[in-house]
């Protein structure tokens, strides 16, 4: 009886978390959303809404507030941006039921004007306050006799969470090493069949916790002499040089081997890093392991990022690994540091498993 119940629960859970059920539920229960704002906050909010398959917020457009004297940089699409005097028609034609005010620097007078403008026209009006640098994961908003308070218990009773995280790392490291054996055999013979006599693994210096460098293990997914080839490509093609300097990678990298394409598509090229996890140099979940030469480019984010052990997966992986720019990865890694909890790790792990299964955002 218990076996039947457990299997039924697992079946229902798998069904509810499949990409097909997400599409069905999203189409039926989605909220057509209008974002007020055209700057970086509005762009980041839209990125999260569209990148999170669990989100029911379907962004239809943006509102410029120039009529209220609010001038923002046009970061979002101009084609999807309307003025305040066109709001009523847009709400009717697009069946908007949710408005998100994404102008953190707005003053109280203009904020109240926006609330009055949308009141009675949509079901939900939400405002994104200025929370840059604040802990936002697992927070609570409280009304203390008319005074708005944001509470968070981060830092209290975290010892248990750290112990759980290390136990999860040890278990994951052992399981990963076991799976690593047959996978390595496959990669070895795949390379040999293509005439590649180079090593299966390669090590690379990466920045670890507190800035201490360590040797990180990876499958070799590129041809031998890849660094020299990259230098030649950057010297001969300005577009390639610009792309690499901006993102620290190439979208269509000609140096990747056939086996390397498979490993990257399935996010298996990091599997040897389970050795680093078992040794305590890395964690299963954490910031991206950055190269020493990227330290300067990390700028003000460096101190926060290196406060944690780097991870095999993390915020950047679950938000579309190859679809995320270098600066965006840093922002996501800083968010992870400021908002870490064991349950955030569990959430990111579940998202990563889904990405591995469906191959979205891999290089």
Domain region containing 57: 2-130
Instruction: Identify whether the C-beta of residue 329 lies closer than 8 Å to the C-beta of residue 320.
Output: no
Residue 118 lies in a domain: yes
- The pair of structure tokens assigned to 264 is 């990257």
Q: Which of 82, 114, 130 is the last residue of a domain?
A: 130
What average pLDDT does the chain have? Answer: 81
Q: Which of 82, 111, 130 is the last residue of a domain?
A: 130
Q: Are residues 67 and 188 in the same domain?
A: no
- What CATH number did the domain enclosing 14 receive? 3.40.50.720
Instruction: Identify whether the C-beta of residue 326 lies closer than 8 Å to the C-beta of residue 304.
Output: no
- The pair of structure tokens assigned to 290 is 């950055």
Residue 243 lies in a domain: no
The pLDDT of residue 311 is: 93
The pLDDT of residue 320 is: 59
Indicate the length of the chain as a whole number: 363
Instruction: Identify whether the C-beta of residue 297 lies closer than 8 Å to the C-beta of residue 245.
Output: no
* Residues of the chain scoring pLDDT < 70: 1-28, 51-54, 131-140, 143-157, 318-323, 356-363
The pLDDT of residue 206 is: 96
Q: Are residues 86 and 206 in the same domain?
A: no
Residue 118 — φ and ψ, nearest 5°? Answer: -95, -10
Domain count of the chain? 2
DSSP helix/strand/coil, 223: coil
Q: For 327-359, what is the HEC assignment? A: HHHHHHHHHHHHHCCHHHHHHHHHHHHHHHHHC
pLDDT digits (tens, 9 = 90+) for 110-153: 999 999 999 999 999 999 877 655 555 556 677 666 666 666 65
Shortest CA distance to 272 belongs to which of 212, 329, 199?
A: 199
The pLDDT of residue 315 is: 85
Residue 237 lies in a domain: no
* DSSP letters spanning 268-301: -TTTTHHHHHHTTSSEEE-S----GGGHHHHGGG
Q: Are residues 168 and 88 in the same domain?
A: no
The pLDDT of residue 18 is: 46
pLDDT digits (tens, 9 = 90+) for 310-347: 999 888 776 655 567 788 888 889 888 888 888 888 88
Within 10 angstroms of residue 350's Cβ, the number of other Cβ atoms is 12
The pLDDT of residue 3 is: 47
Question: Counting Cβ atoms within 10 Å, is residue 313 exposed (0-12), middle (13-18) or buried (19+)?
Answer: buried
The pLDDT of residue 27 is: 61
Question: Could you give the residue ranges of the DSSP H alpha helices within 194-237?
Answer: 226-236
Q: Are residues 120 and 208 in the same domain?
A: no
DSSP helix/strand/coil, 157: coil
Shortest CA distance to 51 belongs to which of 234, 255, 317?
A: 317
CA distance 230 to 245: 12
Instruction: Identify whether the C-beta of residue 59 lies closer than 8 Å to the C-beta of residue 46.
Output: yes
pTM: 0.59
């Amino acid at each position: 009886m218990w076996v039947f119940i457990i299997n039924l629960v697992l079946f229902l859970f798998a069904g509810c978390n499949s990409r097909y059920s997400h599409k069905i539920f999203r189409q039926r229960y989605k909220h057509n959303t209008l974002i007020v704002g055209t700057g970086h906050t509005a762009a980041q909010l839209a990125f999260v809404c569209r990148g999170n398959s669990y989100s029911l917020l379907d962004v239809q457009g943006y509102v410029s507030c120039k009529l209220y004297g609010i001038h923002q940089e046009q970061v979002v699409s101009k084609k999807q941006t309307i003025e305040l005097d066109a709001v009523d028609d847009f709400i009717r034609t697009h069946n908007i039921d949710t408005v998100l005010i994404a102008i953190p620097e707005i003053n109280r007078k203009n904020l109240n004007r926006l609330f009055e403008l949308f009141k009675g026209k949509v079901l939900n009006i939400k405002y994104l306050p200025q929370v840059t640098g604040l802990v936002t994961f697992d927070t609570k908003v409280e009304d203390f006799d008319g005074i708005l308070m944001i509470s968070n218990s981060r830092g209290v009773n975290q010892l248990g969470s750290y112990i759980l995280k290390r136990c999860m790392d040890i278990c994951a490291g052992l399981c990963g090493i076991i799976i690593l054996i047959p996978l390595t055999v496959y990669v070895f013979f795949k390379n040999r069949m293509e005439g590649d006599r180079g090593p299966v693994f390669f090590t690379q210096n990466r920045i670890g916790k507190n800035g201490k460098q360590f040797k990180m293990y990876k499958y070799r997914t590129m041809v031998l002499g890849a660094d020299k080839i990259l230098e030649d490509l950057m010297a001969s093609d300005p577009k390639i040089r610009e792309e690499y300097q901006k993102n620290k990678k190439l979208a269509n990298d000609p140096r990747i081997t056939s086996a390397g394409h498979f490993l990257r598509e399935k996010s298996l090229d990091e599997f040897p890093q389970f050795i680093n996890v078992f040794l305590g140099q890395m964690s299963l979940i954490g910031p991206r392991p950055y190269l020493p030469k990227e330290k300067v480019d990390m700028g003000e984010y460096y101190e926060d990022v290196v406060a944690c052990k780097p991870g095999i997966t993390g915020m950047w992986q679950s938000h579309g690994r190859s679809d995320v720019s270098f600066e965006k990865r840093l922002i996501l890694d800083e968010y992870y540091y400021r908002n870490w909890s064991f349950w955030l790790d569990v959430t990111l792990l579940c998202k990563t498993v889904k990405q591995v299964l469906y191959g979205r955002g891999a290089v």
